[in-house]
């Protein structure tokens, strides 16, 4: 019988190692409810606009506010699937075969709560590690909702998703407006659970993590909520409907700039202990890895990754030396949007121009060029 507390699964890359750390069937111990006899999974279903057989949530589901919200979510999700997700799936099934074969561990720095994109590209992964600035938060307490409270919450929750639905990424400034304050969405946890339910998963258990001075992760109870003193995080155990395989999401709220992510810092020690051979995904990363103030995380990514899938906002092309990396280009290179200056990549543009006859167009759109749909993706594989 698995112990009550969460065994720290999130950081193990190989299945054998995960098993050694207690990655058994999490369903042998039911998730501790966050309130009013409702489980994590039932509240996640409520946020996803999906009906669940949960008597404690019947009043919320019966309200006109929730029904209207669920109808809107269903429509928005159908549009998202048709325009973005299905083309992504078809492309990834063809182009990411080798990367998927070795991607039990998916590392997504600067990803925030964007589990969805990581999952669509790498659905076979067992562990997803996402890093972002936003605090972790908690799921809502529907038993405490009144009509006006639920209306305000669902309105803000919809707003927190709007940039992602429209543009494929979260805007930090807009997230700050919807993730803080009374009646607003509290942190990224509700968004992660929304994506899990919408991709056909069950949320089994949720816990917290922090890091000791040696960089080791320490498990905490779900109620140990923190909003400051980064880094800290959360972990979610989940499984696909009808599957017995338990997987995990680890989200860490952190600042990856060198002065915060110093080499002697706890998080640097922790990420530096990752085994090699993992897969890293980078999208809409504000070109941070281009700057001298983010070299520490760039070094870890390049050292630990066997595959890197990224747009042009990730690791600069000049660092992917041909003697060390095999790089496949997709789409087309476009000058960075006006929000970002000094991050043009003439060498990457030249590579796209010279290989134009052999570079396949992308059948979907992701990232900052959502207005003109001029998207670029790079798939780099380490030569060893």
pLDDT band at 22 (very low <50, low <70, confident <90, very high): very low
Whether 42 shows a pLDDT value over 60: the answer reads yes
Length of the chain (residues) = 384
String of DSSP letters for 6-31? PP--TT--SHHHHHHTT---GGGSPP
CA distance 29 to 27: 5
pLDDT at 215 over 70: yes
Integer angstrom CA distances of residue 365 from 159, 166, 371, 375: 21, 11, 10, 6
Angle at 344 between CA 304 and CA 357, to 5 degrees: 85
Which residues face 281 on adjacent strands? 309
More confident residue, 168 or 307: 307
Distance of alpha carbon 54 from alpha carbon 35, whole angstroms: 12
- Residue 347: CB atoms within 10 Å: 12
Q: Which two tokens stand for residue 169?
A: 């990424």
Residue spans of the domains in the chain: they are 15-309
The pLDDT value recorded for residue 312 is 95
Query: Which region among 8-17, 45-54, 86-95 has the lowest average model confidence (pLDDT)?
Result: 8-17
Three-class SS state of 358: helix
Average pLDDT of the residues in 173-183: 56
Residue from 27, 52, 55 nearest 42 by CA: 52
| 145 has a pLDDT exceeding 80 | no
Q: Are 106 and 279 in contact (CB under 8 A)?
A: yes
- Region of 284 (left: φ > 0; alpha: ψ -120 to 50; beta: rest) is left
The answer to whether residue 163 scores a pLDDT higher than 60 is: yes
Give 185's pLDDT tier (boundaries 50, 70, 90): confident
CA 108 to CA 121: how far, in whole Å? 12
Which residues touch 173 (CB under 8 Å, ≥6 apart)? none
52 CB neighbour count, 10 Å cutoff: 17
Q: How far apart are CA 175 and CA 158, in angstroms?
A: 11
User: Cα 287 vs. chain centroid, distance in angstroms?
Assistant: 18
Query: Which pLDDT value is given to residue 381?
Result: 97
Number of Cβ within 10 Å of residue 58's Cβ equals 11
Question: Residue 180 half-sphere exposure, CB side, CA atoms within 13 Å?
Answer: 9
Residue 4: is the preceding peptide bond cis (ω within 30°)? no
**Sheet of strand 376-382: strand arrangement:** 217-220, 201-211, 232-240, 247-253, 127-132, 105-108, 278-282, 305-310, 376-382, 325-331
In this prediction, residue 8 has a pLDDT band, given cuts at 50, 70 and 90, of very low
What is the token pair recorded at 303? Answer: 């050292």
Bridging pattern class, strands 232-240 and 105-108? unpaired
Grouping H, G, I as helix, E, B as strand and the rest as coil, residue 209 is strand
Average pLDDT over residues 240-266: 96
Return d(Cα 247, Cα 127) in angstroms, integer. 6
Best CA proximity match to 106, nearest among 252, 230, 319, 250? 250
pLDDT tens string 317-363: 999 999 999 999 999 999 998 888 899 999 999 999 999 888 989 99
Contacts of 350 (CB under 8 A, 6+ apart): none
């Amino acid at each position: 019988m698995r112990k009550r507390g969460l065994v720290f699964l999130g950081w193990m890359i190989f299945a054998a190692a995960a098993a050694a750390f207690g990655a058994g069937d999490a369903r042998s111990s039911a998730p501790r409810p966050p309130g009013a006899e409702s489980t994590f999974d039932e509240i996640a279903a409520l946020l996803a606009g999906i009906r669940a057989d949960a008597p404690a949530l019947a009043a919320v589901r019966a309200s006109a506010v929730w029904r209207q919200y669920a109808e809107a979510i269903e429509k928005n999700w159908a549009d998202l699937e048709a325009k973005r997700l299905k083309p992504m799936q078809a492309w990834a099934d063809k182009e990411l075969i080798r990367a998927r074969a070795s991607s039990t561990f998916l590392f997504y720095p600067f990803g925030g709560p964007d589990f969805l994109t990581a999952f669509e590209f790498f659905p076979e992964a067992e562990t997803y590690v996402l890093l972002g600035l936003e605090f972790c938060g908690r799921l809502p307490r529907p038993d405490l909702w009144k009509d006006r409270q639920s209306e305000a919450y669902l309105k803000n929750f919809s707003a927190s998703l709007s940039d992602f639905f429209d543009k494929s990424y979260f805007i930090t400034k807009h997230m700050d407006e919807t993730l803080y304050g009374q009646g607003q969405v509290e942190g990224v946890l509700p968004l992660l659970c929304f994506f899990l339910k919408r991709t056909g998963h069950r949320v089994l258990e949720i816990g917290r993590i922090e890091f000791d001075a040696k960089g080791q992760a320490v498990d905490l109870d779900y109620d140990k909520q923190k909003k400051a003193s980064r880094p800290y995080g959360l972990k979610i155990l989940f499984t696909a409907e009808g599957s017995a395989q338990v997987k995990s999401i680890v989200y860490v709220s952190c600042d990856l700039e060198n002065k915060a992510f110093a080499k002697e810092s706890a998080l640097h020690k922790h990420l530096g202990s990752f085994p090699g051979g993992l897969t890293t995904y980078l999208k809409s990363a504000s070109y941070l890895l281009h700057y001298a103030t983010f070299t520490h995380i760039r070094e870890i990514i390049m050292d630990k990754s066997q595959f890197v899938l990224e747009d042009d906002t990730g690791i600069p092309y000049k660092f992917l030396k041909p003697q060390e990396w095999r790089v496949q280009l997709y789409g087309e290179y476009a000058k960075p949007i006006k929000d970002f200056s000094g991050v043009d990549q003439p060498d990457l543009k030249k590579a796209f121009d010279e290989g134009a006859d052999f570079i396949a167009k992308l059948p979907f759109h992701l990232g900052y060029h959502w207005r003109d749909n001029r998207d670029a993706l790079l798939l780099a594989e380490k030569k060893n």
